Amino acid sequence: MAKPPYMRVENLVKRFGPFTALGGVSLDVHAGEIHALLGDNGAGKSTLIKTLSGVHEPTEGQIYIEGAPVEFKSPRDATNAGIGTVYQDLAINPLMSVTRNFFMGREIANAFGTLRMKEMDGITRDEMLKIGIDISDPSQAVGTMSGGQRQTLAIARAIYFGAKILILDEPTSALGQKQQMEVLKTVMRVRSRGDIAIIFITHNEIHSKLVGDRYTFLALGKVIGSGTRNSLAGEDIRRLMAGGAEIADLEKELSEI
């Protein structure tokens, strides 16, 4: 019997005045899997992320978590429901320490308000080690870390504070190849835990093929294709990444110029 999805999105619509940003998006996200969400710029990926994260309220449609319908009026509602979103800007202050960034806004203090830094340092080190990064000195400034390590910090922070659905917004963009591999390894380690559902937003075909278990392709706010790793061939992914257009058709269009 097939395992039910941890999150189900049904016919999600988001309109801004007369403009329809999402036109009936549906997808299933399973624990212990990476669901790659792909599409070109303007496909609707950012709007979908913000709707799932409680930034926008959907105009129509329904989100279910573990089979129960949920409504998010704010990002806090989404966080309380176990959704952790890591945006491209990471919400990290490079001048602050690793630990202070890890606990930003949720610091542990004693009865007199003094921060329990030793305890927070230990938690930060342990949580990052769990997903593959050994920070020997969590008091070091985040600005001294690589881009891949910063992504790992943001991911570890989201998981520690209760994320069961991890939304990663273009986590490998603006990184060098070595740092991109660091991030992909981190994502695979999180997947191997088996208890966290991952939505991996990207426009990088190679990265999606390396880590994806399921795929949903967006174009102009609509789902134009979906499938699993086993059901989609490389050419299918390439065609759907191009917005559903056949490469031959694109070449013909260019040849007519």
Each residue's pLDDT expressed in tens, for the chain with a length of 257 residues: 567 899 999 999 999 999 999 999 999 999 999 999 998 888 999 999 999 999 999 999 999 999 999 999 999 999 999 999 998 877 889 999 999 999 999 999 999 999 999 999 999 999 999 998 898 899 999 999 988 899 999 999 999 999 999 999 999 888 888 889 999 999 999 999 999 999 999 888 888 888 999 999 999 999 998 888 887 766 666 666 665 555 455 556 555 65
Q: How many domains does the chain have?
A: 1
Q: Where are the alpha helices (DSSP H) in the chain?
A: 45-52, 75-80, 98-102, 117-130, 147-160, 177-193, 205-211, 234-241, 247-255
For residue 178, the enclosing domain spans: 7-89+161-255
Non-local (6+) Cβ contacts of 5 within 8 A are: 28, 29, 30, 197
Is residue 208 assigned to a domain? yes
Tell me the pTM: 0.88
User: If you write DSSP's letter for every residue of 221-233 in order, what string do you get?
Assistant: TEEEEEEETTT--
3-state secondary structure at position 42: coil
Question: What CATH number is associated with residue 54?
Answer: 3.40.50.300
Measured distance CA(145)–CA(147) in Å, rounded: 7
Measured distance CA(142)–CA(238) in Å, rounded: 37
